Amino acid sequence: MSILIVGSTALDSIKTPQAENPRLLGGSASHAAVAASFFSPVQLVGVVGDDFPRRYLALYRRHLIDLEGLQVVPGKTFHWSGEYEANMNHRRTLLTELGVFETFSPTLPARHRDSQFVLLANIAPSLQHHVLGQVRRPKFVAADTMDLWLNIALPDLLKLLKRLDLFVLNDSEAHQLTKEDNAFTALKKIHKLGPKYVIIKKGSHGSILSGPQGFFLCPAYPLHKVVDPTGAGDSFLGGVMGFLAAAKGPIDANFRRAIVYGSVVASFCCEGFGLTRTTRTTRAQIDQRVKELEELSRF
Ligand code: AMP
């Protein structure tokens, strides 16, 4: 089953203590789409300007990502820039230039309106709403967000939460939303806002799923060296949704394995700048790391 993904399609300029890489292929939807493409066909909805390198379009195509919903319009592509400290958990946003995203209001191609799996990757909640509103009868809808939207678009986000099956956020965002320090109490409060499934991500400490079958604690794959964690959260959710869309049987029966797959795809993302490592990954390498994680966490 294919999966519809909307979010930012960006050029990312990323600085770490070791290196600086300007204008990489980035954006929440790009990371999520490549991650999901290891498991299911992907339909990407986004917008880029006429400065968007053709080789990046080719890269999406190499992952068999359907680009009918990706508009190329006159103007500048969304440009984001961030700088990491020696401790890669600390990042500073240097620049966010919305460019062509400022006026983006997509009309979904007819083929996309019957999508059953919908991933609303990080972007303004009003845009997430706008896209979801055009899908006829989605079977499973997931969304991600960021601190910015909790600060400036909370009413829109709260409206969106009522329409979601799965909401994913990191631990600091969960605290911001619920004012709770305890992740398990925060999860309870977030369910009350709408979603049946909630995942709190804790970076290199893994993630917690809460759903009808209770909690699941998913480990992160142990990496000795993180090159650039940008997009790890998007890759995680892309992997989870791609796996769920491809799996047979009920969602509940597949969810735990889906999260482990998401966690593994995110680990590849962290091993290179932007999408450079993820796009060189194979399904066999992903399966191998899943096996290793299984060994590491069995008792
Ligand atoms: P993450 O590391 O999970 O926070 O995701 C980083 C990705 O989010 C980068 O590729 C950015 O292009 C994208 N991004 C940064 N700021 C925004 C924003 N305000 N809206 C949408 N996407 C963003």
Task: Quick: pLDDT tens for 184-206.
Answer: 999 999 999 999 999 999 999 99
User: Please, what is the Cα angle at 239 between 6 and 177, to 5 degrees?
Assistant: 65
Mean pLDDT of 80-84: 97
Ligand 1: which of 101, 122, 240, 269 to mutate, most ligand atoms within 8 Å of CB? 122
- Which residue from 104, 139, 76, 102 is spatially nearest to 6, judged by alpha carbons? 104
Helix boundaries (H) for the chain: 28-36, 54-62, 125-132, 147-152, 154-161, 171-178, 183-192, 232-246, 251-270, 283-297
Return the ligand 1 atom nearest residue 229 CA.
Answer: 2
Q: Which token pair is 214?
A: 């209770």
pLDDT at 89: 85
Length of the chain in terms of residues written:
299
23-65 tens-digit pLDDT: 999 999 999 999 999 999 999 999 999 999 999 999 999 999 9
249-279 tens-digit pLDDT: 999 999 999 999 999 999 999 999 999 999 9
**Single-letter residue type at 235:** S
pLDDT at 230: 98
Nearest CA to ligand 1 atom 22: 8
Q: Does the beta carbon of 82 sit less than 6 angstroms from any atom of ligand 1?
A: no
Q: Does the beta carbon of 40 sit less than 6 angstroms from any atom of ligand 1?
A: no
At 287, phi and psi to the nearest 5?
Answer: -60, -40
Q: Does the beta carbon of 9 sit less than 6 angstroms from any atom of ligand 1?
A: no
| Residue 13 pLDDT greater than 90, yes or no | yes
Contact at 8 Å (CB) between 121 and 10?
no
**pLDDT mean across residues, the chain:** 97
Q: Does the beta carbon of 104 sit less than 6 angstroms from any atom of ligand 1?
A: no
| Residue 54 neighbours by CB distance under 10 Å | 8
Mean pLDDT of 69-92: 95
pLDDT at 202: 95
